[in-house]
Amino acid sequence: MKLFTDSGCDLPKEFFDEEDVQLFSLRVDFNNKNYNDIIDIDPKSVYDGMRQGAVPKTSQVSPEVFLTHFEELAKNNEEGLYIAFSSNLSGTYNTAVMIASQVREQYPQFKLKIIDSKCASLGHGLLVKEAVRLRNEGLSLDDLASHISNMAEHMTHLFTVENLDYLARGGRLSKSSAFIGGLLSIKPILHVEDGKLIPLEKIRGRKKAINRMIEIMAERGGDFSAKTVGISHGDDLEFVQEVQSLIQQHLHPKAFVITTIGAAIGAHSGPGTIAIFFTDKDY
């Protein structure tokens, strides 16, 4: 079985070769050059540019890329599962569905399932990591798709950003919400609901926001002893280590996965973003 995902999952570059997962890269336009996310652009260079006023732009995975890989899968009569970035944050999922439909016209037995994860960044990435584990255990395509779809519905995203203007500029958040959040050093806590970014609470100060996020984790996640917690960040590893220590101290999760937010998502969330991911049930 072939596993596919896109760079909305924010997993590190080496993961895809090591775990035999085909990566579809979103594209990043930065300083008048076009890059494939994860493959040939370093997120740090994007964050440094944004701090100096650069405005990177992003676009979805090319339809031609989907066509090439889906046709190859069909010709080889292989099964495949594509775990896609939230359709409410990117057009990538809908493009993949359209291309798969075209391929199926020529190859009626084409066996590809496409999941709209309604997740982003490492929330999406944790689904991909779980899919790898289950594929390696020999789970069938139908059972694997069912398990990952269920897990996606129970994935919680909590995050705070240094500057809401980046989200507003990219259309991921209303400008009025960004304006309100910018007043008085208010740090918003946001989450993802049905694949969309939704402001949850407004807290004054970054550390207070993190402490409140940990309280929300306890309220929503319950016992963390069997859970893996994901943390992704916009080029602020030092603060992430502080956040990890606080979570460990209060919740004692089974494990942590920590990644840098990639260039495509980071272009919208901006430097200094901290995001926490976990499921509200055990998997």
Domain ranges of the chain: 2-153, 155-279
Q: What percent of the chain has pLDDT over 70?
A: 93
Place 172 in a pLDDT band, splitting at 50, 70 and 90. Answer: low
Cβ pair 112, 79 in contact under 8 A: yes
| 50, two tokens | 């944004």
| 117, two tokens | 């994860």
Q: What is the pLDDT of residue 182?
A: 53
Q: Which of 2-11, 57-66, 162-171, 180-189 has the lowest mean pLDDT?
A: 180-189
β-strand partners of 268: none
Please say if the pLDDT value at position 167 is more than 80: no
At 94, the amino acid letter reads: N
Q: What are the angstrom distances between the C-alpha of 5 and each of 16, 62, 121, 209?
A: 9, 14, 12, 31
Match 């272009």 to its residue by tokens. 267
What integer is the mean pLDDT of 259-277?
95
Q: What is the pLDDT of residue 202?
A: 85
Q: What are the angstrom distances between the C-alpha of 137 and each of 2, 112, 126, 282?
A: 14, 19, 17, 18
What integer is the mean pLDDT of 187-202?
89
H/E element, 208: helix 206-221
Please say if the pLDDT value at position 244 is more than 80: yes
H/E element, 221: helix 206-221
Match 């996020």 to its residue by tokens. 213
| 120, two tokens | 């982003």
Cβ pair 149, 35 in contact under 8 A: no
β-strand partners of 3: 21, 81
Q: Which of 18-22, 43-47, 196-200 has the lowest mean pLDDT?
A: 196-200
Q: What percent of the chain has pLDDT over 90?
A: 85
Please say if the pLDDT value at position 164 is more than 90: no
Place 173 in a pLDDT band, splitting at 50, 70 and 90. Answer: low
Please say if the pLDDT value at position 178 is more than 70: no
Place 186 in a pLDDT band, splitting at 50, 70 and 90. Answer: confident
Report pLDDT digits (tens) over 226-235.
999 999 999 9
Domain 155-279 maps to which CATH number in 3.30.1180.10, 3.50.50.60, 3.20.20.140, 1.25.50.20? Answer: 3.30.1180.10
| 30, two tokens | 């930065």
Domain 2-153 maps to which CATH number in 3.40.50.10170, 3.40.190.10, 3.50.30.60, 3.30.565.10? Answer: 3.40.50.10170
